[in-house]
Homo-oligomer: A and B are copies of this chain.
Amino acid sequence: MNYSDNRPIYKQITDYFCNQILQHKWSPEDRIPSVREIAVKMEVNPNTAIRAFHDLQDKDILYNQRGVGYFVAEHAHEKVKQMKREEFINEKLPGFFRDMKQLGFSCKELEELYDKSKK
């Protein structure tokens, strides 16, 4: 687990889960690793891991079967994608555009940097 990352750990875990789903590594109805497995693998307290599970359960991206484990919900892929896009547009873009204006960055410059970053 990356402690120097500014994001809280539980958020890093939910992002990891979302990525697995976005990349189709985890599909609907798949049983995902248990709380304890994740906690051990990520070297994190189980309570911290649980928080990530709960977060995604609240958003209907995971569901739970008593005594069995957590599973990927139906349409999880679409939900994750939409959620991430909204997050991006609402939470990241405004600050990003503000910075661009402040620093006199044009869209054109940005595009050039973007093309470079692809290579």
List A residues at the B interface (Cβ < 8 Å): 3, 6-9, 15, 18-19, 22, 58, 65-66, 81, 84-85, 88-89, 91-97, 99-100, 102-103, 105, 107, 110-111, 113-114, 117
In the complex, are the beta carbons of A113 and B99 less than 8 A apart? no
In the complex, are the beta carbons of A89 and B66 less than 8 A apart? no
Give the chain B neighbours of A15 by CB distance below 8 A. 102
A105 to B110: give the CA distance in the assembly, Å.
14
Give the chain B neighbours of A102 by CB distance below 8 A. 15, 18-19, 22, 84
- Give the oligomeric copy count: 4
In the complex, are the beta carbons of A93 and B117 less than 8 A apart? yes
Name the prevailing secondary structure of the A interface residues. helix
A88 to B95: give the CA distance in the assembly, Å.
11
Task: Give the distance to chain B from A59, nearest Cβ to Cβ, in Å.
Answer: 9
Task: Give the distance to chain B from A115, nearest Cβ to Cβ, in Å.
Answer: 9
